[in-house]
Amino acid sequence: MSVHVEVDMTSGVPVYEQVRTQVVAHVAAGRLRPGDRLPTIRALATDLGVAPGTVARAFRELELAGVVVTRRRSGTVVADDAAPAHVTARHAATAYVRAARAAGLTPDETLDLVRGALLT
């Protein structure tokens, strides 16, 4: 069965975020497995009728979260270590770091909070 993303242009959630969260969900659910090739940015943007930059941003975020990797030969593929559990945790970690930076925490302070959480 083909895996799809669906975006709602009337939603308040940015399109790139809709794409990103759905790809993460597909990986977490095992519908997209490590090594699976994703469409090119232009192809996905064309099918969704959005600007290529929108899809590019979603892919960039996914790459930062370690969900996908972009290789010169094979394009964007699901990362080898993008196991469902890892993806969820990595996604949470990325969100946490973003929140910590927004709060003005230093890297050490950010890590101290994690270490503290691990002691509970």
Partner 1 sequence: MRLLLLPLLLLPLAALGAIAAAVATARTPRVPGSRTDVETSPTAYARARRHAAVVAGVSWAALVIVALALPQTIPTGPDQGIVLGCAPAVAGVLALLVAAVGERTWSRPADPVRRASLARRTVRDVTPHAPAVLTLAWSAALLLVLLATALTADTDDGRSVTVRHGADATSGAGPYPGTPYGVPIAASVALLLVAALLTLHLVATRPAVSHVSTTDDARLRRAGARRVLAAVQLVVGATLAGVLLVTGTSLRNASRSGYDVGEGWVESIDPVVDALGVAGLVAALVVLVATLVVTGVALTRASHETAPDRTSVVPA
Contact pick of 34, 39, 66, 84 for partner 1 (by CB under 8 A)? 39
Give dist(CA 114, CA 103) in Å, integer: 15
Paired tokens of 109: 């302070």
Is 10 one of the binding residues for partner 1 (CB under 8 A)?
Answer: yes
Contact pick of 24, 28, 32, 58 for partner 1 (by CB under 8 A)? 32
Picking from 42, 38, 47, the residue whose alpha carbon sits closest to that of residue 82 is 38
Is 84 one of the binding residues for partner 1 (CB under 8 A)?
Answer: no
Q: Which is nearer to partner 1, 3 or 89 (CB)?
A: 3
Is 45 one of the binding residues for partner 1 (CB under 8 A)?
Answer: yes
Interface with partner 1 (CB under 8 A), residue total 28
